[in-house]
Amino acid sequence: MADSSDDKVNGLEQNFPKAGAFSDQGGLKKIDPAKPIAVSEDDTLHLKVLAPIGSNHFTLTGKHATHDVDGKQVHFNEFNPGLGLAVKTSKDAEIFAAIIQKNSFNDLTVMGGVQYVPFKTTIKDVELGLGGAAGIAWTEHGSYAKQTSVHLGNFVPLASILATAQHVPSGIGVQANIVPPLGIKNSGVIAFALTKEFDIKYSR
């Protein structure tokens, strides 16, 4: 009996090579369509340059604050140039290190810690953020340690409110670390820094 059309088609399907790819030996090997093909990936390191520029000291009543030096009330140094670098560890967090040539007491300062900005909103091209920062600071002459009983040598803990603003397309922005006055006799401070974000891509 002659083969039907369906039988001929089935025979062709059985003899036709299945989907696959050539192996190193030149034959065909089966490809699992559910398994992705491994390719090289590019990772991105998100960095931010910090450039501290200055500060403003104020009292609980809003007046410009002073501090005592040898029995005299003098103004704080409010020109605080420096340089720092931050590395993003997540969408909202980054670790940072910075050096300030002259702090509020004209003392060389090195600091490092974590900045966390979970609250963000964007208005046109400007991203505004609010969060906090915490870390440790060392001063050459112990100026920070003289202001608190919580210190280890010239090392003191630091904590502040952090407000940020950044022009997203350019990555240029400004941040303000805010320490409110904790009493009528204490002063608060707002420290300002310019920022510039940039990315470095690398393969792994």
Q: Which fold has domain 43-203?
A: Porin (2.40.160)
Reply yes or no on whether the pLDDT at 115 is more than 60.
yes
Q: How open is the CA angle 92-95-97, to the nearest 5 degrees?
A: 140
Give whole-number Cα distances, 129 to 46, 92, 165, 167, in Å. 17, 10, 6, 12
Closest CA to 177 of 101, 125, 106, 116: 116
Reply yes or no on whether the pLDDT at 50 is more than 60.
yes
Task: Please tell me the distance from the alpha carbon of residue 173 to that of residue 130, in angstroms, as a whole number.
Answer: 14
Global pTM value:
0.77
Helix, strand, coil shares, percent, the chain, to 5? 5, 55, 35
Identify whether the C-beta of residue 177 lies closer than 8 Å to the C-beta of residue 195. Answer: no
155-162: average pLDDT:
97
If pLDDT is split at 50, 70 and 90, which confidence band does 203 have? confident
Helix (H, G, I), strand (E, B) or coil at 24: coil
Read off the pLDDT of residues 165-191 as tens digits, 9 standing for 90 and up. Answer: 999 999 999 999 999 997 656 789 999
Identify whether the C-beta of residue 43 lies closer than 8 Å to the C-beta of residue 200. Answer: no
45-59: average pLDDT:
96
If pLDDT is split at 50, 70 and 90, which confidence band does 51 have? very high
Contacts made by residues 142-149, CB under 8 angstroms, sequence distance 24+: 142/107, 143/103, 143/104, 143/105, 143/106, 143/107, 144/103, 144/105, 144/107, 144/109
User: In the chain, what's the furthest Cα-to-Cα distance?
Assistant: 121
